[in-house]
Each structure stands twice: as C-alpha cells, then as structure tokens.
Amino acid sequence: MKINRCNKSRVNQVDFSSIPFGQVFSDHMLMCTYKDGAWGDPIIVPYGPLQLSPATQGLHYGQSVFEGMKAFKDKNNNILLFREKENLLRLNQSAVRLDIPPISEEIFLSGLKTLVSLDHNWCKFGDSFSLYIRPFIFASSNCIKASSAKEYMFMIITSPTMSYYTKPIDLLFEENFSRAVKGGVGFAKAAGNYGASFYPTKLAQDKGYTQVIWTDAKEHKYIEESGTMNIWFRVEDKLITPKISDSILGGITRDSILHLAKREGIKVEERLISVSEILDFAKNDKLIEVFGTGTAVSVISVRSITFRDFKISLESKNDSYAMMLKKKLQDIQYGRKKDLFNWTTLLSSFD
Ligand code: COI
C-alpha cells in the first residue's frame, strides 16, 4: 500500500491526560476513491483537510455512511482490534441501503491494519484509553443532481479517546420526534440518521437531560434506542433489550454484551418493549438498572429515565450488571482475559 508519511508526528503535542471525544486526530488517514465503476488503490497520507467541490454530492443529499470501532493496547504494547470484520459487514450493509458501492475486505482490512500500525503511538495503554476508528464513505461526485453519485470516497481516520460520557446519564422518553421509520434507514449507520437526531437531542439537553430514548415512529409506544446507543433494562435478575429491526442499529457492542450476559447465566430477552411496561416495572420496584451500549460509550449506566413528568431515579448498585459486563468486555478488549469468542485481532508488538 502506498504510504506518504508525515514529516513529524504530532503525538507529543497531545495532552493524553484529558482528551475530549472526537477532536484529536492521529497523524495519518486512509483514502480510496471509487471511479468508473471500481474502487482504486488505497493510499495513506498525512491527516489534513480535503479539497472538495461545493457541488460534492454527499454534502447535498447525505449519501454517506460510516462506522465506529476501536483498537486497544495491551500491557505488552500490542494493539488489539475488536470485531473489525463485523464493522466491515455493517458498513457494507449501510452502503447497500444508501446505494453506495460496497468496499472490499482487502481494502478495508489491510488499510485499517496498516493505518493503525503506522499510528500505533496514538493508541495508549491504560484502562480509559482506546483509539476510536472512523471509516466512512461519501458521495464525492461533482454534481447536484438528486440521484446516486458516480464517484465515492472511502476514508479512515483515527482519534485517541478516553470516556464519551464522564458520569451516569439522564434520559428522556421522546414522544414527538422520531429517529427511524419502518422501511427507512434506522438499521444503517447513515450520516443523516445522526444529523436528524441533533435537534430533538438539543431540546432534551436544554431541559437538563443527556439524551433521549427513541420510541417507534408510529405510536411512540415502543422503545428503540437511546441517543447513539442500544438500550438495556434490568428487570429483577433479567435483562431486556429491544429486538433488532429495520429501525434499530445492530450494535456490535450490543451483540458482545448479549454473548457475555448469556455466558454469565443471565436471562436475556430481545423483544418489543413498551414504554408503559417499563413504567410499570419501575412502579413495582422491579426495574433495577438501565444502561446503554455502543462503541463510543462502551457500557454506560443510566441515572434516571423520565416520561413526561414522571422521573424514575435509578440508584447505583454494587452488583451492577452494567459494570460487571463492561469489565468482562474490557478484559477481552485490553487482552487481560482469554478471548473465548475470538473477537480480537492482534497487531504485533510495537516496542
Ligand atoms: C459509536 O458508538 O460508534 C457511534 O456511532 C457514536 C458516534 C456517533 C459518536
């Protein structure tokens, strides 16, 4: 793969004791263009601005998809990628829905490994550190016809991260706006899903909440996701999470937590969950915990959920399922425990 290295790394200029999510980027980025019906050869270049035509189709019509994934460093200075083939699969599922040409396994996986190995110094060792990896594809044709583009750009950028949320979060049931509709693009990581969520989220944040709980678009009766996360309810000793559908993103962290919970002998139900049954569980003191899962957040405990004027406060628990499952997940991600599920890919030591 062609690599144009930067002259001098910026890594020593970064204060790794405090990194806001998504604002610091590693030295290099991967680029690959689709033209004349085929993806070309990927190239790695120094991280920097793109020169784009104002008519870049993806800017006008949102024909753009992305992924979120992470790499971790173990105590021997190896880098561990986590379930990267799942991200490739989901990126291509999203791409197909947006009529974007899928990317090959070769370009994605070898590009990812070369890029992360090159910028290995940006992935720090330590419990709260990881390297967030953002692969994305956007329509790059110089054309404002409202149709699928003929040219695309696939890129990967990486960003050192600490925590997404620094404390437990407060959620509000959303009853007016919708994240996704049946037959729509909710299952895909389409850029527009996120853009459309910002206004309702801002309204909730203005009232003091961290995020909204998305409910179904037709009746606002059934729970789908929360913010950019999948959502989980612990009812007595059982976990319940919404079943994946075309309006719910199939989170890779969600799937990992499902496997880990089942291995711990926890009963897990993936099913339709109505808002009213969660309120009833809370009224009957059966709702023990609520948490969210996602690549960026990992596993995050929820401090309260509010439906209209009814606020349910959730005490932090010593025997929290969220914290126990997060630890099990991170033990695998950081290479501290045997990877029984074969989820990690080791990039050799960078001593
Ligand atoms: C992720 O968890 O990877 C996400 O998609 C969240 C991101 C939008 C910050």
Same domain, residue pair 147 and 173? no
Both tokens of residue 59?
């800017």
Last residue of a domain, one of 145, 162, 179: 162
Same-domain pairing of 86 and 152: yes
Q: How confident is the model over 307-340, as pLDDT tens digits? A: 999 999 999 889 999 999 999 999 999 999 999 9
Find the 294 Cα to ligand 1 centroid distance in Å: 7
User: What whole-number distance in Å separates Cα of residue 304 and Cα of residue 315?
Assistant: 9
pLDDT of the residue at 351: 62
CA 351 to chain centre: 29
- Asked, for residue 345, whether it belongs to a domain, the answer is no
Q: What are the b/e assignments for 300-322, b being 16+ CB within 10 Å?
A: bbbbbbbbeeeebebeeeeebbb
DSSP 250: -
Residue 174 tokens read as 């959303």
Average pLDDT over residues 267-293: 98
Look at residue 350 and tell me if it is in a domain: no
Both 77 and 178 in one domain: the answer is: no
Other CB atoms within a 10 A radius of the CB of residue 9 amount to: 16
One domain for residues 128 and 269: no
pLDDT of 56: 98
- The reply to whether 211 and 257 lie within a common domain is yes
- CATH code at 251? 3.20.10.10
One domain for residues 173 and 154: no
For residue 165 the two structure tokens come to: 């949320």
Residue type, 317: K
Are residues 192 and 117 located together in one domain of the fold?
no
Asked, for residue 294, whether it belongs to a domain, the answer is yes
CATH number at residue 17: 3.30.470.10
Cα distances (angstroms) measured from residue 266 to each of 138, 223, 238, 261, 317: 41, 21, 6, 5, 17
Residue range(s) defining the domain that contains residue 223:
169-333
Task: Please identify, by atom number, the ligand 1 atom nearest to the C-alpha of residue 69.
Answer: 3
Q: What is the pLDDT of residues 90-118, one digit of tens each?
A: 999 999 999 999 999 999 999 999 999 99
Residue 348 forms part of a structural domain = no
Q: 42 CB under 6 A from ligand 1?
A: no
- pLDDT for the residue 50: 98
The confidence score (pLDDT) of residue 166 equals: 84
**What is the model's pLDDT at position 128?**
86
User: What is residue 71's three-state secondary structure?
Assistant: strand
Same structural domain, 207 and 114 = no
Select from 190, 228, 249, 246 the least CA-distant residue to 63.
190
Flag whether 338 is in a domain.
Answer: no
Q: Is 310 helix (H, G, I), strand (E, B) or coil?
A: strand
| Nearest protein Cα to ligand 1, atom 5 | 68
CB 160 within 8 A of CB 31: no
| Nearest CA owner, ligand 1 atom 9 | 296
CA of 208 to the centre of ligand 1 (A): 21
User: Given pLDDT bands bounded at 50, 70 and 90, which one contains residue 292?
Assistant: very high
Region 21-30: mean pLDDT is: 97
Q: Which residue intervals of the chain are DSSP H helices?
A: 57-61, 84-97, 105, 111-118, 191-195, 198-206, 252-263, 275-283, 321-333
Claim to verify: residue 227 and residue 247 sit in the same structural domain:
yes
The CB of 294 under 6 Å from ligand 1? The reply is yes
